[in-house]
Amino acid sequence: MRRIDIFDTTLRDGEQSAGINLNTVEKLEIARQLEKLGVAVIEAGFPASSPGDFEAVQRIANTVKNSTVTGLARAMKKDIDISWEALRGGEQPHIHVFLATSPIHMEYKLKKTPDEVVDIAVDAVKYAKQFFPLVQWSAEDAFRSEPEFLVRIINKVIAAGATTINIPDTVGYATPQEYGALFKYLKENVTGVEKVKLSAHCHDDLGMAVANSIAAVENGADQVECTINGIGERAGNASLEEIAVAMHIRKDFYNMDTGINLQEIKRSSQLVSRLTGVVIQPNKAVVGKNAFAHESGIHQDGMLKNRQTYEIITPELIGETDMPLALGKHSGRHAFKDRAVSMGFELSDKQLNEAFDDFKKLADRKKEITEDDLFVLFTGQQLSDTDTPIYELHNVQVQYGTSNIPTATVTATVPSGETVTVATTGSGSVESIFNALELVIKGEVLILDYRVTSIGKGRDALGEAVVNLSYNGLELKGRDVAQDVLEASAKAYLNAINRQLVRERLRTQELIK
Ligand code: KIV
Ligand code: ZN
């Protein structure tokens, strides 16, 4: 079987999409999961874009051992130098340099002639090659570039030392036939193409990113770039889980292997959804909550007689197991620890003890502790060394009646260390809480989006709230989980503010250093 490398860009192209903002600890957690998932390359960020991105890429490069870690850089010395500092500790330092090659990008964005673009690309690759053994070069907007110009510039960057050539459909305009044909053309016309990896990078503006990626590998691509849950710029990137599962289920047809550990797909998808706050659409292929649900009577009847009548993928394949409920109110610390390990969490004794205390509190209030609940508890602890919050919620109380004006009373610690209590009204319970929190933080806040979802099933399921807000003109996202949705909403609101303030604090500390 032919090996196709999976290049995951969840932490770069995915993180770059509207409303997503991960901190370093969260990025590291996702990178560790991607390593378990077996991706060949992790694009951990864009080191020159911000000190936060630099720090995250550096920590990931120094931690991950079984996947190659890369970072994005513009075709300029400054970006390559910064990337080297971030990536030099990695097992196999790899850099991803890009430069646009389409007529529209060269003329209007870069304001450069094609000859100048060739020179800049070659100089950047040569410069990167002095540090990095692995240099990937991307022709941004390759699909809308002149094929002859692509051959010309790719010939030159290969001669300059590039080891991977990426051909992005940056704006998601290609059809599978056309994108496949472009790879075939490059395979036939580029000098030295056999010495490099050819890579596909597709966006989903016309809903064809996965089909285009597969058309590319059928026509000679050795690597596909994709993201967990298909998150990414605008309509997103090609979805990793769809590509990996399609290749597996139809290996009779494709005869290709991605090296992905399919059993880790569900967990990767859940983790990315939880940390980014991007909800997975229920009917999403492979990882949507209805992907294995059979609703109509005829289908259910068929399933009962023989599952293969309507099921081509089993939930077990992607690690979705209905584990028997082994934990409850009377479960001991030992069983709890075993479950954490079997679910793939590596927690310190302190984190395990804290998770166990939370578990006991939850077990007092909830009939059944589900796999989803445990996932939330363990993930929460795994990320608990995320910087201490600046505003901390102690209590929220709401008075609501169908014919009363809702009133919220909130008690919280503020940055000076003082504990304050405020009360105010709103047209609904949530609005009254948000109004009270606005008095606590004394800033100008606009709510841009607000969502509450249940985690798992049942009327006592945990509630997760995601709040998108604008705080003093900055767009922020916060999320949190609690048994009560009002408490989850209050915490998610403060989480958005805290994340921004922690970021500012780190930046100030950086400047003082
Ligand atoms: O879509 C794109 O062109 C990119 C490049 C930076 C590779 O993300
Ligand atoms: Zn992209």
Among the bound ligands, the one closest to the CA of 231: 2
> How far lies 11's CA from each of 24, 90, 163, 231, in Å?
11, 17, 22, 10
Q: Which residue has the tokens 């309507």?
A: 310
* 98 CB near ligand 1 (under 6 Å): yes
- 27 near 60, Cβ under 8 Å? yes
> Of all atoms in ligand 1, which is nearest to the CA of residue 170?
1
pLDDT of residue 325: 56
> How far lies 23's CA from each of 327, 392, 439, 477, in Å?
32, 18, 26, 12
Q: CA 238 to CA 462: how far, in whole Å? A: 31
Name the residue with higher pLDDT: 369 or 190. 190
Average pLDDT, integer, range 78-87: 98
* 170 CB near ligand 1 (under 6 Å): yes
Q: Is the pLDDT of residue 263 over 80?
A: yes
Average pLDDT, integer, range 378-401: 84
pLDDT of residue 513: 65
Residue 509 pLDDT class (50, 70, 90 cuts):
confident
Token couple for 364: 């007092």
* 5 CB near ligand 1 (under 6 Å): no
Q: CA 366 to CA 359: how far, in whole Å? A: 10
Token couple for 383: 């990320």
Residue 21 pLDDT class (50, 70, 90 cuts):
confident
What order do you get walking across the sheet with 392-399 strand by strand? 392-399, 407-413, 419-425
pLDDT of residue 511: 66
pLDDT of residue 327: 74
Residue 332 pLDDT class (50, 70, 90 cuts):
confident
Nearest CA to ligand 1 atom 8: 13
pLDDT of residue 323: 59
> Of all atoms in ligand 1, which is nearest to the CA of residue 12?
8
DSSP-assigned beta bridge partners for residue 413: 392, 419
- Number of helices (H), then strands (E), belonging to the chain: the values are 17, 16
Q: CA 241 to CA 230: how far, in whole Å? A: 8
Q: Is the pLDDT of residue 345 over 90?
A: no
Name the residue with higher pLDDT: 326 or 482. 482
Nearest CA to ligand 1 atom 5: 140
Please give the full DSSP string across 424-440, using - where no structure is assigned: EE-SSHHHHHHHHHHHH
Share of the chain above pLDDT 90, in %: 75
- 17 near 229, Cβ under 8 Å? no
Q: CA 79 to CA 72: how far, in whole Å? A: 8
Name the residue with higher pLDDT: 386 or 451. 451
Average pLDDT, integer, range 320-325: 66
Residue 184 CA to ligand 2 center (angstroms) comes to: 21
- 393 near 410, Cβ under 8 Å? yes
Nearest CA to ligand 1 atom 2: 170
Q: CA 70 to CA 466: how far, in whole Å? A: 30
* Pocket-testing residue among 17, 98, 110, 198, ligand 1, by greatest number of atoms within 8 A of Cβ: 98
Q: Is the pLDDT of residue 386 over 70?
A: no
Residue 142 pLDDT class (50, 70, 90 cuts):
very high
Average pLDDT, integer, range 413-420: 94
Q: Tell me the torsion sign for CA atoms 329, 331, 336, 339.
A: negative
* 237 CB near ligand 1 (under 6 Å): no
* 67 CB near ligand 1 (under 6 Å): no
* 138 CB near ligand 1 (under 6 Å): yes
Residue 225 CA to ligand 1 center (angstroms) comes to: 10
Highest mean pLDDT among 151-160, 274-283, 290-299, 364-373: 151-160
Average pLDDT, integer, range 295-314: 87
Q: Is the pLDDT of residue 326 over 60?
A: no
From the CB of residue 41, how many other CB atoms can be counted at a distance below 10 Å? 25
- 73 near 48, Cβ under 8 Å? yes
* 71 CB near ligand 1 (under 6 Å): no
Q: What is the mean pLDDT of the chain?
A: 93
SS3 assignment, position 398: strand
Q: Is 308 exposed, middle or buried (0-12, 13-18, 19+ CB in 10 A)?
A: exposed
Q: CA 511 to CA 188: how far, in whole Å? A: 52
> How far lies 390's CA from each of 306, 417, 466, 504, in Å?
56, 9, 19, 11
Name which of 217-226, 259-268, 315-324, 487-496 the model is least confident about: 315-324
* Pocket-testing residue among 7, 9, 13, 237, ligand 1, by greatest number of atoms within 8 A of Cβ: 13
Residue 150 CA to ligand 2 center (angstroms) comes to: 18
Average pLDDT, integer, range 35-45: 98
pLDDT of residue 296: 80
> Of all atoms in ligand 1, which is nearest to the CA of residue 225?
7
Contacting residues for 323 by C-beta, under 8 A, at least 6 apart = 371
pLDDT of residue 324: 53
Residue 387 pLDDT class (50, 70, 90 cuts):
low
> How far lies 258's CA from each of 7, 249, 453, in Å?
10, 12, 33
pLDDT (tens digit, 9 = 90+) per residue, 366-377? 877 888 888 889
Contacting residues for 381 by C-beta, under 8 A, at least 6 apart = 345, 347, 351, 352, 354, 355, 358
154-186 in b/e form (b: 16+ CB < 10 A) is bbbbbebbbbbbbbbbbbbbbebeebbebbebb
* 219 CB near ligand 1 (under 6 Å): no
Residue 44 CA to ligand 1 center (angstroms) comes to: 14
Q: CA 180 to CA 143: how far, in whole Å? A: 11
Q: Is the pLDDT of residue 322 over 70?
A: no
Q: Which amino acid is at 22?
A: L
Name which of 154-168, 174-188, 202-216, 321-335 the model is least confident about: 321-335
- 150 near 187, Cβ under 8 Å? no
- 88 near 131, Cβ under 8 Å? yes
Q: Is the pLDDT of residue 139 over 70?
A: yes
Backbone φ, ψ for residue 148 (5° rounding): -65, -40
**pTM confidence score:** 0.90
Please give the full DSSP string across 92-142, using - where no structure is assigned: S-EEEEEEE-SHHIIIIII---HHHHHHHHHHHHHHHHTT-SEEEEEEETG
pLDDT of residue 463: 92
Residue 153 CA to ligand 2 center (angstroms) comes to: 20
pLDDT (tens digit, 9 = 90+) per residue, 456-476? 778 888 999 999 999 988 889
Q: CA 72 to CA 90: how far, in whole Å? A: 15
Q: Is 506 exposed, middle or buried (0-12, 13-18, 19+ CB in 10 A)?
A: middle
